[in-house]
Amino acid sequence: MDHFTSPRNVGEIEDASGVGTVGNAKCGDIMKIFLKIENDTVTDAKFKTFGCGAAVATSSMATELVKGKQVHDVLSVTNKAVMEALDGLPPEKVHCSCLAEEALQAALWDYSQKSNVHIEGLNPPSDTEHELEEDDE
């Protein structure tokens, strides 16, 4: 609840190194994450999210988790890591943590393309929106 009522890192980074935008048509959530990367380290992260409280909270936590990380370590910030850092999410809101992971990866992809940097283990973002089946908790 704390990351919903007092979200951290809300806003934009004007000269962002990478920007990732993802959405889910089923619930209407849209998440945009901005990363500032210097010397292979995430020095700042911000977000703009349109959606429910869980979408705001997962965006806030995801940006907190990546600050100070080396670029290749950002890939370890998965939806499960975000959920654990938030002490869990209701089953019907797990898709919000998946969006946070996808937005981070999309921002990394954007950075890799702009900077011509290869990030081991990073795949191009899919063109399809994420939909989580109920049994994929």
HSE of 102, CA atoms in CB hemisphere, 13 A = 22
Q: Residue by residue, what is the 3-state secondary structure of 47-79?
A: EEEECCHHHHHHHHHHHHHHCCCEHHHHCCCCH
Assign domain 2-114 one CATH number from 3.30.1050.10, 3.40.50.150, 1.10.150.120, 3.90.1010.10.
3.90.1010.10
Catalytic residue among 27, 77, 86, 103: 27
Active site annotation includes 27? yes
pLDDT-above-70 percentage for the chain = 88
Q: What is the mean pLDDT of residues 26-43?
A: 93
Strand residue runs (E) in 18-131: 18-24, 29-38, 41-50
Tens-digit pLDDT profile for residues 57-67:
999 999 999 99
Q: Is the predicted pLDDT of residue 47 greater than 60, yes or no?
A: yes
Q: Most confidently modeled of 5-19, 21-35, 106-120? A: 106-120
CB of 80 closer than 8 Å to CB of 97: yes
Of 96, 99, 103, 104, the catalytic one is 96
Model pTM score: 0.87
Question: Does residue 5 carry a pLDDT above 90?
Answer: no
Taking the domains of the chain in order of start, what are their residue ranges? 2-114
Residue 132: DSSP 8-state: -
Q: Is 96 among the catalytic positions?
A: yes
pLDDT at res. 11? 95
Dist. CA 27–CA 33, nearest whole Å: 18
